[in-house]
Chain A
Amino acid sequence: MSLLLDVRNLTKKFGGLTAVGDVALGIEEHSISAIIGPNGAGKTTFFNLLTGIYKPDSGTMSFNGRSLVGLRPDQVNAAGMARTFQSIRLFPSMTVLENVMVGMHSRLNISLITTLLRTEAFKEQEQHVRQKASDLLRFVGLGGKGDEVSRNLPYGDQRRVEIARALASDPKLILLDEPTAGMNPQESASAMNLFSRVRDELGVTVVLIEHDMKVVMGVSEHISVLDYGQKIAEGTPAAIRANARVIEAYLGRRAAGTTENIETEEVNS
Chain B
Amino acid sequence: MVTKSVSPSPWASLRNVVKQPVVAGVLLVVYLLIATFILSNLNRRDLWFPLYSTLTFPMLVLAPFLILAAPLRVQIKALLIVVVLFLIIPYLGIRDSSYLELIIQICIFAGLALGLNIVVGFAGLLDLGYIAFFAVGAYTWGMVSSQANTIFYINGWLVSGAAFYGFIFIGVGVAALVGILLGLPVLRLRGDYLAIVTLGFGEMIRVIANNLDKPINLTNGSQGLFNVGHPPVPPFLFNAVVSAQGTLGLPTDNAEPLAQQLLFYVIGIVMVAVIIVVARRLDNSPIGRAWTAIREDEVAAIAMGVPLVRMKLMAFAMGASFAGAIGVLYGAKQTFVSPESFSLIQSISILAMVIVGGIGGIRGALFGAVIVTLLNLLVLKNMSLQINALRNVDFIVPLINFHIRDWPTQLEPAKYERFIFGLLLIVMMIFRPAGLLPEPRRRMEMKAGSDDVEDSPTPAEEPAATAAQPDAGNV
User: Do these two chains interact?
Assistant: yes
Residues of chain A whose beta carbon lies under 8 Å from any beta carbon of chain B: 14-15, 17, 19, 39-45, 48, 51, 53, 72-74, 77-78, 82-83, 85-87, 89-94, 98, 101-108, 110, 112, 115-116, 118, 122, 125-126, 129, 149, 151, 165-166, 168-169, 177
Q: How far is the CB of A28 from chain B (nearest CB, A)?
A: 24
Pair B296/A73 contact, Cβ less than 8 Å? no
Pair A105/B304 contact, Cβ less than 8 Å? yes
Report whether over half of chain B's contact residues are helix, strand or loop; otherwise say mixed. Answer: helix
Task: Note all chain A residues with C-beta closer than 8 A to B287.
Answer: 110, 112, 115
Interface: B326 (CB within 8 A): no
Q: How far is the CA of A39 from the CA of B462 in the complex (A)?
A: 9
Task: Note all chain B residues with C-beta closer than 8 A to A105.
Answer: 286, 289-290, 304-306
| With A43-B461, A94-B441 as contacts: A102 and B290 at CB distance below 8 Å | yes
Q: How far is the CA of A77 from the CA of B278 in the complex (A)?
A: 29
* CB-contacts of B290-322 with A (<8 A): 290, 292-293, 296-297, 299-308, 314, 318
15 sampled A-B residue pairs with Cβ under 8 A: A44-B459, A74-B303, A74-B308, A82-B305, A90-B300, A92-B445, A94-B292, A101-B286, A102-B304, A105-B286, A105-B290, A106-B304, A106-B306, A110-B287, A126-B285
* CB-contacts of B420-444 with A (<8 A): 441-442, 444
Across the two chains, which residue of chain A brings its CB closest to B468? A14
Q: How far is the CA of A177 from the CA of B459 in the complex (A)?
A: 10
| With A14-B463, A92-B453, A165-B304 as contacts: A53 and B286 at CB distance below 8 Å | no
Pair A94/B302 contact, Cβ less than 8 Å? no
Q: How far is the CB of A229 from chain B (nearest CB, A)?
A: 9
Pair B304/A77 contact, Cβ less than 8 Å? yes
Q: How far is the CA of A39 from the CA of B445 in the complex (A)?
A: 32
Q: How far is the CB of A191 from chain B (nearest CB, A)?
A: 19
Residues of chain B whose beta carbon lies under 8 Å from any beta carbon of chain A: 278, 281-282, 285-287, 289-290, 292-293, 296-297, 299-308, 314, 318, 441-442, 444-445, 448, 453, 456, 458-464, 466-467
Q: How far is the CB of A62 from chain B (nearest CB, A)?
A: 20
Q: How far is the CA of A115 from the CA of B282 in the complex (A)?
A: 7
Q: How far is the CA of A39 from the CA of B460 in the complex (A)?
A: 11
Q: How far is the CB of B294 from chain A (nearest CB, A)?
A: 9
**Pick from B278, B286, B304, B462: contact of A129, CB under 8 Å:** B286
Pair B461/A44 contact, Cβ less than 8 Å? yes
**Pick from A74, A107, A112, A165: contact of B302, CB under 8 Å:** A74
User: Besides the contacts A92-B296, A98-B289, A112-B287, what 5 more A-B pairs have beta carbons closer than 8 Å?
Assistant: A48-B458, A48-B459, A72-B302, A77-B303, A94-B293
Across the two chains, which residue of chain A brings its CB closest to B307? A74
Pair A91/B444 contact, Cβ less than 8 Å? no
Across the two chains, which residue of chain B brings its CB closest to A115? B285
Across the two chains, which residue of chain A brings its CB closest to B303? A73
Pair B462/A14 contact, Cβ less than 8 Å? yes
**Pick from B305, B463, B467: contact of A103, CB under 8 Å:** B305
Across the two chains, which residue of chain B brings its CB closest to A42? B462
Pair A103/B304 contact, Cβ less than 8 Å? yes
Q: How far is the CB of A40 from chain B (nearest CB, A)?
A: 6
Interface centre among B300, B304, B461, B463 (most CB of A within 10 A): B304
Pair B293/A86 contact, Cβ less than 8 Å? no
Task: Note all chain A residues with C-beta closer than 8 A to B307.
Answer: 72, 74
| With A105-B305, A105-B306 as contacts: A89 and B299 at CB distance below 8 Å | yes
Across the two chains, which residue of chain A brings its CB closest to B446? A93
Pair A39/B441 contact, Cβ less than 8 Å? no
Pair B293/A87 contact, Cβ less than 8 Å? no
**Pick from B281, B305, B464: contact of A115, CB under 8 Å:** B281
Q: How far is the CA of A207 from the CA of B197 in the complex (A)?
A: 41
Pair A102/B289 contact, Cβ less than 8 Å? yes
**Pick from B292, B293, B305: contact of A78, CB under 8 Å:** B305
Q: How far is the CA of A178 from the CA of B301 in the complex (A)?
A: 19
Task: Note all chain A residues with C-beta closer than 8 A to B460.
Answer: 44-45, 48
Q: How far is the CA of A94 from the CA of B441 in the complex (A)?
A: 7
9 closest A-B pairs by CB: A106-B305, A77-B305, A89-B300, A93-B444, A91-B296, A19-B462, A73-B302, A74-B307, A93-B441
Q: How far is the CA of A15 from the CA of B461 in the complex (A)?
A: 15
Pair A110/B286 contact, Cβ less than 8 Å? yes
**Pick from B306, B441, B445: contact of A102, CB under 8 Å:** B306
Pair A87/B459 contact, Cβ less than 8 Å? yes
| With A91-B293, A101-B289 as contacts: A74 and B441 at CB distance below 8 Å | no
